[in-house]
Amino acid sequence: MSVEFCGLELAHPIINASGTFDAIAARRAFGDELLERFPFSAFVSKTVTVEPRQGNPPPRLWELPAGLMNSIGLPNKGLDGYLANDLPQLSELSVPLIVNVMGFSRDEVAQLVSGFAVREEVAALELNVSCPNVETGMVMGADPGEVARLLAAVRPLTGKPLIVKLTPNASNVPAVALAAEEAGADAVSLINTIKGMALDPRSGEPWLGGQTGGVSGPAVRAVALAQVYAVSAVVGIPVIGMGGVQSGRDAADLMRAGATLVAVGTESFRDPAAGSRIAAQVSGSSTNDRISVRG
Ligand code: RRO
């Protein structure tokens, strides 16, 4: 069930969603067995920013009847800390490494892309233009023009595949995807989390330290399917589909809707081996009944 994706030969179509699987902590817990039986065919790192960040104040999580809401706020060591500490450890993984980056301006994204362009350990970059949990409320990926300007600035900086992680919190997601493709993106990934809120039942005040959060898990699966279908209908570049995938059937649905790869996110918190299980289930399922969304 190997898959070709942007020049990478992957053993199967199941990868992780950024920020939902800590490969360094998993290696500490499971040892070298993790390398031998890595659950994903490529590893996508948590978002890296130029400067180190503490992340949002707690509480950072709220459980929903059919999912999870997070307001993590991009805690990370920053570009220099990632290059010095995380990259050497992640480069020991047995699968290609995709680094997810986010900047608060085009200049910052350019710094990140340039920083990773020269690192041969990095197979591809995912540009996170869709985090719902930043104080500014600014989401670059909500506007096709902003995404086109971003790609125009960073495309010349690297020959590595650039994947644009789209937000579902936009009025016209296919238009943003098309703008990314026309400006030189090699692939798009979707969906990131959907903006939501919970109130503390005692105080009536927002529960999450960041006030609002990103909803993920089975609750968003139907939204993801609709958006992957709509985006796949308009772009020619590969699509990475994600959103509430818990089983091989969910993954196969996203592939029938047009996804080349499927990412598992929230399910890995419940079952760290979910990636392997879902990959095995997908391999066993027939893909002959794919529907054509490109006409
Ligand atoms: O760190 C986060 O709060 C976060 C990020 Br960067 C993202 O892209 N999506 C999300 O739900 N949370």
217, 67 in Cβ contact below 8 A? yes
Query: For atom 8 of ligand 1, which residue has the closest CA?
Result: 131
Predicted structure pTM score: 0.95
pLDDT tens for residues 148-183?
999 999 999 999 999 999 999 999 999 999 999 999
CA distance 135 to 187: 28
Centroid of ligand 1 to alpha carbon of 16 (angstroms): 14
Ligand 1 atom nearest to 56, measured from its CA: 3
Long-range CB pairs of 56-62, under 8 A, 24+ apart, other chains included: 56/133, 56/208, 56/209, 56/210, 57/209, 57/210, 58/209, 59/207, 59/208, 59/209, 60/208, 60/209, 60/210, 61/208, 62/198, 62/207, 62/208, 62/213
Average pLDDT over every residue of 222-237: 98
Query: For atom 7 of ligand 1, which residue has the closest CA?
Result: 131
Q: Which residues line ligand 1 (CB under 6 A)?
A: 19, 47, 70-74, 128, 130-133, 192-193, 214
Catalytic residue numbers read 131
Ligand 1 pocket mutation pick from 193, 212, 242 by most atoms within 8 angstroms of CB = 193
Query: Percent of the chain having pLDDT more than 70?
Result: 95
Ligand 1 pocket mutation pick from 20, 21, 44, 47 by most atoms within 8 angstroms of CB = 47
The mean predicted confidence, pLDDT, of the chain is: 94
